[in-house]
Chain A
């Protein structure tokens, strides 16, 4: 692929993933030079419906969003979901847990029927997604690596091992020893264990590895006197849309 036409699109989320692209700072001009950026509402006025690669941020939470994501899917050759909200629904999915109608009523009262809001779903519930830059926010260098790989025609390498591996390599004290809960044992690495590095438990924002060792996580929680409910409270922060698959395992 030569200089690909790239569009950056935002759905329901905080804009933090697009900001992480802008936060590339010293690499930003190289990135902008290597691609033809045709659509990026947060940063530029120019916009076009002619693109090969779509970077999509945010979850799909409205009827209007369903139409938009389907259109993007029909234009782009390659779709990259960036950030937890796009990858697995992310934090937005807590709305589903609470109950859509109840949530509407709590926030909007008798005006709730004015709201276009449907069950939260990740991007791949509607269109084919080729690559995932996970995390909240995503690791900006992983986004660069994915784009670079696409330009040179190489398959991006995304880790499929747990955060514990990176955490051990970084020489951290296990946060369970400090009385905290951590989803590192089942969560996909690639963030360089950034939360445990800061003496916080992993919230699982990158989602589980392909075949998570849930029993090991349960044993660990038990060893430190924590329950499955404690684990699910953590897991559901970013993975409520996928929660059932973990509970059934």
Chain B
């Protein structure tokens, strides 16, 4: 191959939002490697100022179509914390249940529609319809199951309606609870076939150890709630996130980058797995073992596998939650707890499908937002994506330009970046082209 390479991929495809990849190699040395974000900023932090407490969850849900449930709950939890609202056990269980299915929907979309074409061949899911129809059908069925769960509990698959500060505006009926149980039980056959398909995939054997950060809980495989935990040995209450998590504008980069103990860290399914694998369901643990996913795992490409293992866990845990809710009974009078506006600051942290998501609101006496700060998982991953690619490219420098380009794109896609979530990406023109 040539000693010099100039790769520029405009709009890396099969990621959510817009991102460009720029790679310059001179005399077989990486001179420049940038994942550039031209996605336009949207100023959500400005939109939130002055809004009444009942609006932020609906507004911030619109940050991202794929993780609208996660944004809704980061927002709801921040507001509830600030206003001193404590939801009851039934509300919490129902929230965890709907939360699982955004994770399932998003993980399935990524593993099958966005990442799998790299491993099964074909530029996208459309050729797979011809070559691997069974895989496409499994994906569509699992995705529909998860979306139907969100539709039943939230009133809509994208931007849920019923999940609000204080609880739910409407509860699923008992009949719907049984219907959901049936849908979940029916999904096991597809999970089993998926296991067989995923076992055949040949993932790159790339490894680079980094800091893995996620929520963590003593009992749950934390998605909806928990402390913020790092594989570097620290754990903090989300209210104190500013003590550990830093955001900065990086001159060469298009986005604000985050760092904690080291110069970059990773969030998402692999981080959750590395921190919380003990709390996975038995079946999820078994599937992880069969797929060679073992903590601590330092192979970024295994993020795809961790996403699938999470789907298995979410189905198992959903059935458990449904049994508990059915046993304890679901009473409309407990659907909402009382909300009284007051001043204060609240931080809501959740695990969006792509990783740790933080909303931080300060309210005035009348329950209107004075200040808002949002920290988005994909922002947290940018520094790590660039460092991973910088480690990957020298290893494959003797391959063709096309192969190098594909490997970099696959690396970016393994993170499942969600660029629309960008609340504050900066658009910087490249000097060296």
Residues of A within 8 A of B (CB): 10-20, 22-23, 25-26, 28-29, 32, 37, 41-47, 61-62, 64-65, 90-92, 94-95, 98, 102-104, 106-108, 111, 114-117, 136-137, 194-195, 197-200, 203, 233, 237
Known: A45-B13, A107-B41, A194-B161. A37 touches B249 (CB 8 A): no
Q: B11 to A107, Cβ gap below 8 A?
A: no
Q: Show 15 A/B contacts (Cβ-Cβ < 8 Å), sorted by A.
A: A14-B68, A15-B17, A15-B64, A16-B159, A25-B144, A42-B13, A62-B427, A92-B42, A94-B47, A98-B43, A106-B49, A111-B249, A111-B426, A199-B170, A200-B162
Chain B positions within 8 Å of A98 at CB level: 43, 46-47, 49
* Distance between Cα atoms of A44 and B161 in the complex (Å): 30
| Chain B interface helix/strand/loop/mixed | loop
Give, as a whole number of angstroms, the nearest-CB distance from A100 to chain B. 9
Chain B positions within 8 Å of A25 at CB level: 140, 143-144, 147
Which among A12, A42, A46, A108 has the greatest number of chain B C-beta atoms within 10 A?
Answer: A42
* Distance between Cα atoms of A95 and B48 in the complex (Å): 10
Q: A42 to B16, Cβ gap below 8 A?
A: yes
Instruction: Among B11, B124, B159, point to the contact of A43 (Cβ < 8 A).
Output: B124
* Distance between Cα atoms of A197 and B160 in the complex (Å): 12
**Any A CB within 8 A of the CB of B95:** no
Q: B109 to A22, Cβ gap below 8 A?
A: yes
Known: A12-B40, A32-B129, A136-B159. A198 touches B169 (CB 8 A): yes
Chain A positions within 8 Å of B159 at CB level: 16, 136-137
CB nearest neighbor in A for B142: A25
Selected interface stretch from B55-63, B317-325, B349-357, B394-402: B55-63
**Any A CB within 8 A of the CB of B156:** yes
**Any A CB within 8 A of the CB of B66:** yes
Known: A15-B16, A22-B113, A115-B41. A194 touches B156 (CB 8 A): yes
Q: B426 to A13, Cβ gap below 8 A?
A: no
Q: B14 to A44, Cβ gap below 8 A?
A: yes
Chain B positions within 8 Å of A47 at CB level: 11, 13
Chain A positions within 8 Å of B63 at CB level: 14
Q: B13 to A44, Cβ gap below 8 A?
A: yes
Q: A15 to B427, Cβ gap below 8 A?
A: no
Give, as a whole number of angstroms, the nearest-CB distance from A171 to chain B. 14
* Distance between Cα atoms of A2 and B17 in the complex (Å): 31
Instruction: Among A17, A46, A95, A102, point to the contact of B124 (Cβ < 8 A).
Output: A46
Chain A positions within 8 Å of B46 at CB level: 94-95, 98, 102-103, 106-107
**Any A CB within 8 A of the CB of B155:** yes
CB nearest neighbor in A for B117: A45
- Starting from the known contacts A22-B113, A42-B14, A107-B424, 15 additional A-B residue pairs (CB-CB under 8 Å) come to A10-B18, A12-B39, A14-B62, A14-B63, A15-B418, A16-B64, A46-B126, A65-B40, A90-B62, A91-B62, A98-B47, A108-B426, A137-B159, A194-B156, A198-B170
Chain B positions within 8 Å of A199 at CB level: 162, 169-170
CB nearest neighbor in A for B156: A194
Chain A positions within 8 Å of B39 at CB level: 12
**Any A CB within 8 A of the CB of B295:** no
Give, as a whole number of angstroms, the nearest-CB distance from B409 to chain A. 9
Give, as a whole number of angstroms, the nearest-CB distance from A193 to chain B. 11
Chain B positions within 8 Å of A62 at CB level: 40, 427
Cβ contacts B57-101/A at 8 Å (1 or 0 each): 011001111101000000000000000000000000000000000
Residues facing A in B358-402 (CB within 8 A) are none
Q: B424 to A20, Cβ gap below 8 A?
A: no
* Distance between Cα atoms of A117 and B43 in the complex (Å): 10
Give, as a whole number of angstroms, the nearest-CB distance from B365 to chain A. 18
Q: B59 to A45, Cβ gap below 8 A?
A: no
CB nearest neighbor in B for A12: B40
**Any A CB within 8 A of the CB of B157:** yes
**Any A CB within 8 A of the CB of B123:** yes
Chain A positions within 8 Å of B41 at CB level: 107-108, 115, 117
Chain A positions within 8 Å of B144 at CB level: 25-26
Q: Lowest 6 A-B CB distances belong to which pairs?
A: A16-B65, A44-B124, A198-B155, A103-B46, A45-B123, A25-B144
Residues facing A in B107-149 (CB within 8 A) are 109, 113-114, 117, 123-126, 129, 136, 140, 143-144, 147
Give, as a whole number of angstroms, the nearest-CB distance from A173 to chain B. 11
Give, as a whole number of angstroms, the nearest-CB distance from A82 to chain B. 12
Known: A15-B16, A16-B65. A194 touches B155 (CB 8 A): yes
